[in-house]
Chains A and B, each alone.
Chain A
């Protein structure tokens, strides 16, 4: 179990700073969602916490050490990261793609002996084992996304970061993807941190929500405490009601 922490993190691109200072902790085994309008800095924060984007200041602590102190391979055994719309060669098969998840465990001269067993397991856990020999490009968007998640799972990390994993999927596939992530959290204790656009998804699946606006985390905490009519108005500028739904534990948001 390992904690991922951003402390006074300053991030952005080249000479443009998107986030002046943000602090956020991903406790082990939590489902954390970053919410906010376009351009609020969600993806930037996620990428910087993944160590994909160079930070401009502050620190990212993974476990006991700063992320910078890890060798790339070590880091890749602890955190996996799935960008938005990842690309793969047109003729890559599902199993082949998933097998790339073993990269952090394979050297130029050393073979990863457990590879095949872990690959099968990762595909089974995400429900893509039946597509094993299919070409990735022939699957539907949601199935493809689960294959990518399967690759991350194959990395056997404690933390998975995902940038808008449900964007451009239909509602059924959105649910499948989120249920898959929830399962990883519940059954394997994996910390899941993702950027989502749908407030109700955030309410339904998250243990913690961070709401961003213009590069600042305005609200952070349990969704029932943080997601309120006021905070939604404040962050998104959208009026609406949080409504009790019969048979559901949490209140869901309906815009006016």
Chain B
């Protein structure tokens, strides 16, 4: 992978820690810029002053009333999605695995679209329903792929099948109610416009608990990467751990998606990028994916709202426009095993 394997010596732990450190710096810089850039630009030094010193200034008000919650939501959404994908790629041992594959996008999407199209006056229900939709779809896919145990490949395939079924449901609604499709675009593309402190507090508990749990499971994720049989021989209750981790992953991604819409692409690309940069040891990979996912969403959001000021491009579009080419570049640079 990224190692100087010509001599077969791996990039040492310290080298990987340094790369993690660089990713963390990218995260911090994105965060400061995300607060600093907008309708009114605030210099980074004023951002830091405004954050920590309550002088009642206009800068501080802009930061706390307009910017900070959006930045923090972006960071958390990105971190949650990237960790969700990291967990799934770890337990499925399949590069296709991402929050999309366990039905988070399609489940959350269908529920959100049902509300937005059929009950447009109850938009406030979208987060709760899409979160529930995400979890239920995950369990449905899990049950459908159960046959005396869950085979990761069967689960990936069931996930693709169930997702396309739910997507068909979503598209039928678009066809039946063409005049209301407009309502749903914000959600299906995924964006941070109009996020308030409310959104931030909604995702906060899931994010904090989910991220902490993911950190506790780092060692077990490493062992699971050796395959079910070896992991089982090493005393891991593979089936139990897998359902716990799938639930954790669904909660992480579901919380993110129900807050900002279908942005789950970060959950596929974030972990891959992190893996290309720091390798597959979850001790380093988990924090790297967390910072990288958060940093990427903040960065994409900065670009989206500054490039055609005052018009905003939803973060989901920027993510794909810039993320995909960059991903291909990395994929061709480093040989991925």
Seen from chain A, the residues whose Cβ lies within 8 Å of a Cβ on chain B are: 14, 47, 50-52, 54, 72-77, 79-83, 86-93, 96-97, 100-101, 103-104, 106, 108-109, 133-135, 137-139, 155
Contacts and interface: CB of A to CB of B under 8 A. Distances in A.
A90 B280 contact: yes
B116 to A, nearest CB: 40
Contact of B232 (A52, A89, A108): A52
B198 interface: no
Contacts of A52: 229, 232-233
Interface in B191-242: 216-217, 219-220, 222-223, 225-227, 229-230, 232-237
B232 A72 contact: yes
A88 B225 contact: yes
Given A90-B1, A108-B217, A135-B9, A75 B235 contact: yes
B99 interface: no
Contacts of A103: 219, 223, 234-236
B235 A81 contact: no
Contacts of B312: none
DSSP majority for the B interface? loop
Contacts of B94: none
B10 interface: yes
A104 to B, nearest CB: 4
The 10 closest A-B pairs by CB, nearest first: A76-B235, A90-B337, A138-B8, A104-B235, A81-B233, A103-B234, A73-B235, A89-B280, A91-B279, A91-B1
B236 A72 contact: yes
A72 B93 CA distance: 22
B178 interface: no
A244 B232 CA distance: 44
Contacts of A72: 232, 235-237
A72 B10 CA distance: 32
Interface string B135-149: 000000000000110
A103 B238 CA distance: 13
B31 to A, nearest CB: 29
18 contacts: A14-B147, A52-B232, A52-B233, A73-B235, A76-B234, A80-B233, A80-B234, A87-B227, A91-B10, A91-B279, A91-B280, A91-B337, A100-B223, A104-B234, A106-B219, A134-B10, A135-B10, A138-B5
B9 A89 contact: no
Nearest to B147: A14
Contact of B226 (A74, A86, A104): A86
A86 B226 CA distance: 7
B8 A92 contact: no
Interface of B: 1-3, 5, 8-10, 12, 93, 147-148, 216-217, 219-220, 222-223, 225-227, 229-230, 232-237, 279-281, 337
Contact of A108 (B147, B216, B337): B216
A138 B3 CA distance: 12
Contacts, number: 97
B9 to A, nearest CB: 6
A208 B204 CA distance: 61
Contacts of B222: 100
Contacts of A47: 229
Contact of A134 (B8, B147, B223, B233): B8
Contacts of B235: 72-77, 103-104
Contact of B8 (A77, A100, A104, A135): A135
A96 B226 CA distance: 12
Given A54-B148, A77-B235, A86 B280 contact: no
B233 A76 contact: yes
Most A CB atoms within 10 A — which of B3, B230, B233?
B233
B281 A14 contact: no
Contacts of B337: 89-91, 137
A93 B10 contact: yes
Contacts of B223: 100, 103
Contact of A100 (B232, B234, B279, B280): B234
Given A52-B229, A135-B3, 14 more contacts: A72-B237, A74-B235, A76-B235, A77-B235, A81-B230, A83-B227, A83-B229, A91-B1, A91-B280, A92-B281, A103-B219, A108-B220, A135-B5, A137-B337
B5 to A, nearest CB: 6
A14 B151 CA distance: 13
A140 to B, nearest CB: 11
Contacts of A109: 216
B234 A134 contact: no
Nearest to A163: B229
A108 to B, nearest CB: 5
B3 A100 contact: no
B148 A14 contact: yes
Given A52-B233, A106-B219, A89 B5 contact: no
B99 to A, nearest CB: 21
Contacts of A73: 235
Contacts of A106: 219
